[in-house]
Amino acid sequence: MAVQLFLPMLEKDRVTFRPLFALLFALPLILAMPVAIAAPATGDLALVQDHLRSVESLTANFSQTDRNGKTLDGTLALKKPGKIRFQYEKGVPILIVGDGKALWFLDYSVRQKQRWPIGNSPLGVLLDPNKDISRFAKVVRTADPRVISVEASDPRHPEYGRITLVFARDASAPGGLMMQGWVALDAQNNRTTIRLSNQLFNRPVADRAFRWTDPTLRGGRN
């Protein structure tokens, strides 16, 4: 079970990285789109909704695998509302940070930064407890009854791709579910997977964990 953000590992990967990054931060637009009928979440979808609303903070290790099978490791920190940090392993000049106001993609190797509003990201479902996932998501049946997969997409905008969150039933976790990760699939069927491990929920996370150095400034580094 996995969760992935597709980040460039080598210079030649930057071209293929951009579509996945666009998927990751464009798909959240789905969250804000009205639908004709927005029925309350029921069954397993309601369990997922309860879990997401029960999580105030999360720290975990993650392993990210891209479409070519390349893997990067790192650590994840999340704190509501609006704060998240993907810290990649040493030697990877990429940092993704949500500082409570915006989501930033920082590339220290080329001294560039890109900004997205928190609400305009599929990560919005993790960072905003008020998101109603029944408006844009559905449960995908799995062979293992202990696993719940939820797929989010907008059929009116296939160019946004799809993202699938994966959970395991676990009575010790918030809402009785343990988030295992997610899989992103862009419009070109490029697949990116992130797997979480060592998840810790609702522990204190300092606000300084979401600070970052501007890569466009001389000496800026992650």
Distance separating alpha carbons of residues 144 and 102, to the nearest angstrom? 37
pLDDT above 90: residue 33:
no
pLDDT top residue among 110 and 3: 110
**Token pair recorded at residue 147:** 């696993």
In eight-state DSSP terms, residue 46 is H
CA angle 208/213/214 to nearest 5° reads: 140
pLDDT above 50: residue 36:
no
- Lowest-pLDDT range, 15-29, 91-105, 177-191? 15-29
The confidence band for 220, taking pLDDT boundaries of 50, 70 and 90, is low
The confidence band for 125, taking pLDDT boundaries of 50, 70 and 90, is low
**pLDDT at position 168:** 96
pLDDT tens column, 166-181: 999 999 999 999 999 9
Overall residue count recorded for the chain in this entry = 222
The answer to whether the predicted template modeling score (pTM) of the entire model surpasses 0.85 is no
pLDDT above 90: residue 137:
no
Highest mean pLDDT of the ranges 2-6, 105-109, 218-222: 105-109
**pLDDT at position 38:** 41
The confidence band for 3, taking pLDDT boundaries of 50, 70 and 90, is very low
Highest mean pLDDT of the ranges 21-30, 101-110, 117-126, 204-213: 204-213
Look at the alpha carbons of 187, 192, 193, 194 in this order and tell me if their dihedral is positive or negative: negative
In contact, 124 and 116? CB cutoff 8 Å: no
